[in-house]
Structure 1
Amino acid sequence: MKFSRWALIITLVNVLLYVEKCSASLNLYLRTQEVQRLLGVPAEMYYIRDDLISLHALNFTIQLTPKINDLYFTWENTGGTKIPYSLEINTSNSAVIPKTDVNISTTGSVPSVTQTFMVAVACSGLVEEEVQISINLNLTFPNDNTNTLKFSRRKTCLDENIKNYVEINTLPQFTNPSSIFFIAICCAVILISILVIFITINFLRYKKIRSTESGASEPTNTTTTTFLAALPRNSVNASSYGSFRRMPSYSLIDDRSKDLQERITELTIQRFRVRLSSIILEGTFGRVYQGSYINEEEKEETVIIKTVADHASQIQISLLLQEGMAMYSLNHKNILSILRVSIEDHTTPYLLYPFDNNKNLKIFLQKCKVSSEGVHHTLTTQEVVHMALQIIKAMQYLHKKHLLHKDLAARNCVVDEKLNVQVTDNALSRDLFPSDYHCLGDNENRPVKWLALESLVHKSFACASDIWSFGVLLWELTTLAQQPYIEIDPFEMAAYLKDGYRLAQPINCPDELFAVMAYCWAMSAEERPTFTQLHVCLQEFYTQLTKYV
């Protein structure tokens, strides 16, 4: 009996060791935007998180409205072992939903980078019926164990030839003249109120125009600092691109867009000169391609192309243009400035950037953990400091031009095979790296865990706030792009920082380098160093490192 018990324990241990050895790391979930669209709840829904399957989520049947024709799933394999899959979609009535489609192959391997794929389930519009949709995903893990995940959806389809409405008399039936008189009085009061509001708005608008015209001759302050994201992101006051070639139908977000329109006009090229080759990064609505374009000398030039999907909203298109043009006309070897823009009516805009075998710095650092891609060894302290010095030079140039970045992070930098780093704008970053941005109830996604305390609390930005973000970026370099403050809830970040807590010193990070980070995170903005001081300090440290083999 005692021997059998020990044999059972040894067998269980061997099984656990086998599972640990053969396991991969798989995440499969619905992003916040998708859950908000389907259920009206701003939260992510995980079906698999780090290989742990949520049976509760899988057993939950989501009801789809007739207008929802596309379903979006996000997945990634962060382990080093491939996970083959096969995908099958079935419906309970093919006459109601005659065709289902996906924008990925039905067989293949789970991608090693975060990817969102789409399942199309459009109704025929000929039959009115509720249809059961079953999406079956077969996953084969490294231990040859195949799991079948079944996602259940129920969709109501309508017959478009029938008027899908019912006439309802919403007014109560009154049986006496006094009630009718009361209704008439209420309608008159409402009509008068609307007229008064309309007249007031027009009067204020006329007064504003007159005051603007009268103050046009007054001198303006040319020393005011401009921001890379100067236009407000929450305003919906739109103006048209009247000055563009081809008269595109997009709209910008602010009246102060005249200068931006002129910049885009200067860079605009015809669409037939641009050719898309392959997708590098993809989000819910944003996409980054490698491609080429024919320049003015009729020579083909390799470029990076940022654009959005066809289902992107007007505001998302406007933000792409606004943030993509942030570094227009900047000329520095450590800054990746926009090269060209392609805008034509009824098509999504293309933003073109120079390409020199550079990759996103955050993804590059993450891959250094698991493979030799990019470099054939683990990054040394000397290489980390060298990259940090290049970023400092770029930020010195930006501040010299009276520009603030406001979103300095590894995701907004690129690096090539020789570890040459360039700082980029933050166009599409919210969509491509959604876990780095959070909304704190103000309807604005912000890089909460990269922001200085004053930026987080008061939305106040200055050179010192970019210094704080650089400290977090330096921490990313030394940790190979780990998530900062991963255990802290975004809503608690302000209180956490006010209490004096900061990021911990990374493993194998020299004390001299961590001291630089700590100076960047001083509570008072006046106590933080400038980029010039940081350059002197890190350059001296880099010189000392080069003395050793």
Structure 2
Amino acid sequence: MFLLWRLAVLLLVVTARPAASYFNLFLTQMEVRKLLGLSNAELFYVKEGVINEYAVKFVVPVPAQLHKLHFTWENLAGRPLPYTMSVDISNPSALSSSLNISQAGDIPLGGLQTWALSLHCGPYDAEIDFTLRINVSLSRKNTTHLEFRRKKICLKDKSYTGPEEVLVAVSGSTSGGQIFYAAIGCACAVIATIFVLVVVYYLRNKKTRRHRDPLQESRGLSSACSMERGAGVGPAQTFLSPETPPPASAASGSSYRRLDDRPSRELHERIQEITVQRCRVRLLSIEMEGTFGRVYRGSYHEEGALSPRDVLVKTAAEHASQSQVALLLREGLALYGLSHPALLPVLGVSIEDRSAPFLLYPHTGYRNMKRFLLRCKLSSEGPPRALTTQEVVEMALQAAKGVQYLHRKRLVHRDLAARNCVVDDDLRVQITDNALARDLFPQDYHCLGDNENRPIKWLAIESLLTKTFTTASDVWAFGVLLWELTTLAQQPYVEVDPFEMASYLRDGYRLAQPINCPDELFAVMAYCWAMSAEERPTFSQLIICLQDFHTQLTRYV
């Protein structure tokens, strides 16, 4: 499916037909930026009497946070052009609409005019198709018919309750009354903005005083709870500020319910089972950092242990939203309770009140695989380390066995990639969860207008089109992971726009064979990328193929 989003395609489309009505109809730069995520560009549906058929026919998703669609038109005929417009909604109980201009009238002379279609979501989550129809007449026998199809995403917590918007006219004949009311509106907006900034400043200062830097607190503050119940060792430095009282372990459940209004009972039980005391964790250094999350290297003194153990700590930043925190916990606990040499388990979790939740992982010299591969290619400590084909196959075999174990447990990973694996100096590989992956590797994730960041260039064709995830979609992603291993973490499909990936794959295009990649290994990748999910191999079959190829390689060593 060719997508509307790429402006270069939109404005150079030649499949247009002359229109009888001489007018312009387009989206302004601001509207294009809000709706499509593009900047410094206007999108014309009708330009000087020519209809952009490609743009008009495309179904545009309207994000949940967007409740008004603005259109701008301009009369070029030299006299008023009559128009009629209507809105057809597939589910009127879930969505209603209103226009800030009349449904029948004339496109006025005298410059540009911007009007709005307001969308009012119902009290539940839904995706609603609707069509805006516009008919513009130059004469009784000459009428231009336009249909704009949209898909509105409605979320219950983002339903629209604001007032109707007044018509905005951009022309040279603005009346004094309009200017007066516009000035009043601007003044009110400025006052409201100042008020919001003052409130934010006050809350942020209050929050900063209460939540100090976790790393600083971990290094220098006194313990918030006693370690005497453990092995008799002295007090450890705490993750919390000293004025925060140590909550009981039973407080974990209620704290999580506040983070997510609808937690599953299974996730709730997991959190209760592996909750750790925050004062037993000491943060040492930041390993990776994103916009709303951090990964620390630290130590964890288990109760009864003589000495602490090295750990990795994934935690959300103070400014992370509740949904981001809930996502961190949900994805971080996805592999909880599993035991396999090729899986990185979760040691513990803490969601104590008034502090950032964290997840605890063992740290035994493993590091992120994507960063390891990039370091192999661009090492500043000496000559780049070149992985042999035999080493690549050995690493791929370990990852495949880990995913095979997941599938036997009836679990689908959904985000298999080098960024969600770890590797040590002996090239031992472990698969991890994808908690914080969107934040730490934002270049690997894209939003296609649906408010959801996804690893577009690792997804199978059915996952792109219908968000279907199965064991077969994990096989597809494993083929991309194998390609990452052979290219030392190059970006897949770097020349393809994310919005065009589905069309690109449906036309039969795939990743090219990497340099120095044997035909046998590339054949394994190609099998993973079969268009039909039924035609892709299982991980058991992939393991057999890789083991056979590894055996052939060892004969020549």
Question: What TM bracket, shorter-length normalisation?
Answer: 0.5 to 0.7
CA distance in 1, matches of 2:513, 2:197: 66
The aligned residue for residue 277 of structure 1 is 284
Tell me the SS of whatever aligns to 2:314: strand
Instruction: Report the residue type matching 1:330 in the other structure.
Output: L
CA distance in 1, matches of 2:315, 2:308: 20
1:300 and 2:317 correspond: no
1:391 and 2:391 correspond: no
The aligned residue for residue 405 of structure 1 is 413
Pairing partner for 1:540 from 520, 544, 548: 548
Alignment of 1:312-461 (within 5 A): 312-371=320-379, 377-461=385-469
Alignment of 1:128-147 (within 5 A): none
- Asked if structure 1 preserves the Cα contact closer than 8 Å seen for 2:253 and 2:271, the reply is no
Tell me the SS of whatever aligns to 1:403: coil
- Asked if structure 2 preserves the Cα contact closer than 8 Å seen for 1:281 and 1:289, the reply is yes
- 1:226-246 CA-to-partner distances (Å, cap 9, x unmatched) read xxxxxxxxxxxxxxx996448
Cα pair distance change 1:354/1:42, threshold 3 Å: farther
Cα pair distance change 1:379/1:43, threshold 3 Å: farther
- Asked if structure 2 preserves the Cα contact closer than 8 Å seen for 1:368 and 1:374, the reply is no
CA distance in 1, matches of 2:441, 2:372: 14
- Asked if structure 2 preserves the Cα contact closer than 8 Å seen for 1:478 and 1:506, the reply is yes
- 1:168-210 CA-to-partner distances (Å, cap 9, x unmatched) read xxxxxxxxxxxxxxxxxxxxxxxxxxxxxxxxxxxxxxxxxxx
Alignment of 1:133-212 (within 5 A): none
Cα pair distance change 1:512/1:337, threshold 3 Å: same
Cα pair distance change 1:459/1:375, threshold 3 Å: farther
CA distance in 2, matches of 1:324, 1:161: 34
Task: Give how far 1:377 is off.
Answer: 3.0
CA distance in 2, matches of 1:159, 1:425: 42
CA distance in 2, matches of 1:318, 1:454: 27
CA distance in 1, matches of 2:521, 2:264: 42
1:513 and 2:491 correspond: no
Gaps of 5+ in 2: 1-29, 40-191, 200-247
CA distance in 2, matches of 1:536, 1:293: 40
Cα pair distance change 1:273/1:433, threshold 3 Å: same
- 1:253-305 CA-to-partner distances (Å, cap 9, x unmatched) read 46351111111011111111011110011011110000011112233011000
Instruction: Report the residue type matching 1:251 in the other structure.
Output: R
CA distance in 1, matches of 2:198, 2:318: 29
Task: Give how far 1:548 is off.
Answer: 1.8
CA distance in 2, matches of 1:162, 1:427: 34
Task: Give how far 1:365 is off.
Answer: 0.4
Tell me the SS of whatever aligns to 1:248: helix
Tell me the SS of whatever aligns to 2:264: helix
Instruction: Report the residue type matching 2:493 in the other structure.
Output: Y
TM-score by length of 1: 0.56
Task: Give how far 1:443 is off.
Answer: 1.1
CA distance in 2, matches of 1:246, 1:458: 34
CA distance in 1, matches of 2:256, 2:550: 51
Gaps of 5+ in 1: 1-35, 46-155, 164-240
CA distance in 1, matches of 2:198, 2:398: 65
The aligned residue for residue 99 of structure 2 is none
Q: How many residues align?
A: 328
CA distance in 1, matches of 2:278, 2:249: 19
Cα pair distance change 1:250/1:472, threshold 3 Å: same
Q: Percent identity?
A: 63
Cα pair distance change 1:510/1:159, threshold 3 Å: closer
The aligned residue for residue 291 of structure 1 is 298
Cα pair distance change 1:373/1:160, threshold 3 Å: closer
The aligned residue for residue 248 of structure 1 is 255
- Asked if structure 1 preserves the Cα contact closer than 8 Å seen for 2:375 and 2:384, the reply is no
- Asked if structure 1 preserves the Cα contact closer than 8 Å seen for 2:369 and 2:422, the reply is yes
Instruction: Report the residue type matching 2:299 in the other structure.
Output: S
- 1:350-398 CA-to-partner distances (Å, cap 9, x unmatched) read 1000101111000110111111769973111000000000001101100
Cα pair distance change 1:541/1:313, threshold 3 Å: same
Cα pair distance change 1:525/1:415, threshold 3 Å: same
CA distance in 1, matches of 2:292, 2:483: 29
Cα pair distance change 1:305/1:242, threshold 3 Å: closer
Instruction: Report the residue type matching 1:385 in the other structure.
Output: V
CA distance in 1, matches of 2:457, 2:342: 24
CA distance in 1, matches of 2:470, 2:259: 25
1:470 and 2:478 correspond: yes
